[in-house]
Structure 1
Amino acid sequence: MIRRTLVVPLLLALGACASTPTSSLGAFAERSANNSFEPFDRGVEPPDTLVLPVSHDQQTSMAACGAHVMSSVINYWEGEGTVTGHALFEATPPADTRAGYSMAELMTLARAHGLTTSAVRLTDADIIRELEAGRPVLVPVRVPSIFIQPWQLPGANVPVLGLPAAVVTSRVGAIAEFTGATLVNHYVLIVGYEDETFVAVEPVMGFRTIAFERLDRYREPFGNAALVFSGSRPRPASGAAGQTAPTG
């Protein structure tokens, strides 16, 4: 069992190819199943989906996920192009560059850019209420590394043909969860939902769907911790793959 656990990820790496992030809301609306964390029921269906108009700022270095997810938060509240994750990381790197940013450091970054922020513990229902009020929610997760690699199996996002690749990726992720190997701490920004599926902006691969149950597992090591924000400027008009969020 140990030998198999070590060999499968290596084989996947050898057979993988560069993947394409879903960085825009328009691209996500067109193909919401791309890059999903799920092997089945990967997509959501407009106009039944609420997704806030958050921009993706792509992570390119290991310790910088917090800076890039905060760039998405700041640009949502303060206006597109206010800051980049690269600039945040260069100006204010984490105290521990191997471990990355703590939640306290992210709160400091948010306040330095004029946002009010609170560290809270949120259930799925609480997150939905924040989203419906027009507030994306930042959550720490412990996730199998295969889900946040900048590569994927060939054809992974091809309708129908991509299903075997999605199943294999999910199986490798399940092995990682079971063994505790190749799990990494990460941040994602929850920006929408439909039924039992959340929409997340994940720093490496952009807009992605993830089932409530899976996100709950990934959040559990952090006790359902979350960061919520508000800004001095009016929120941008909310829209997305479908519904418009309330403005009040």
Structure 2
Amino acid sequence: GVLCGFSASPPPPPPGLFKLLTLELEGNEFHDGNVIPKSFKPLRSLIYLRLDRNLFRAVPSGLPSSLQELHLDDNHIEEVTERVLNKTLNLTVLVLSNNHLQEDRIAPRAWIDLPRLEALDLSHNRLVHVPSFLPRGLKQLTLHHNRIERIPGYVFAHLRPGLEFLHLSHNHLRADGIHPVSFLGLQHSLAELLLDNNRLEAVPRGLLGLKGLQVLRLSHNRIR
């Protein structure tokens, strides 16, 4: 009778889909008004979330801290605010292609402190220059099909160990939009640089310092 009164059954599990790893909700009618921050709270094991082809104007808040991949392709996202990603410290892949992003609507601390973010896709947006304050550990940056005219000096200088893949095809880059210090910080890391379908009249001098470069694409420019 020593164990009298103790239940041998395990405690009930917490409510919600607490073991869910992957959630795909693309092609629905979710927007900022019908997804509340608490929606994702029970999903404490979630690592992959797909919300493509919805109606979001901003990155949804309250995302689970376990998240590693977030796909928000083909929404109406116009801004990335300062604190919306500050809990998702495990995020490695962020896809924001086919939205309405401009670089001045990306908060300076939107993602610079995400320690594991390695791949960022901002293709098919409205960027006019390569955005500053990129995540420090970034390895792949996808920026094709924007309106980029300029790669600011030192924009990659804070990255460690540095970008390996930079995709800038189908933009508005001229040679004078690429400075000698535009690629500073990528001298040893950058392996693939895609600059096809731009408006370059000459091979940018800044490329000469990229000692690790293996693939360089300059097709469909105005180089003489």
Larger Rg: 2
TM-score category (smaller protein): under 0.3
Higher relative contact order (CA 8 A, sep 6+): 1
TM-score, normalization by structure 1 = 0.20
Report the structure, 1 or 2, having the larger strand content: 1
TM-score, normalization by structure 2 = 0.21
Report the structure, 1 or 2, having the larger helix content: 1
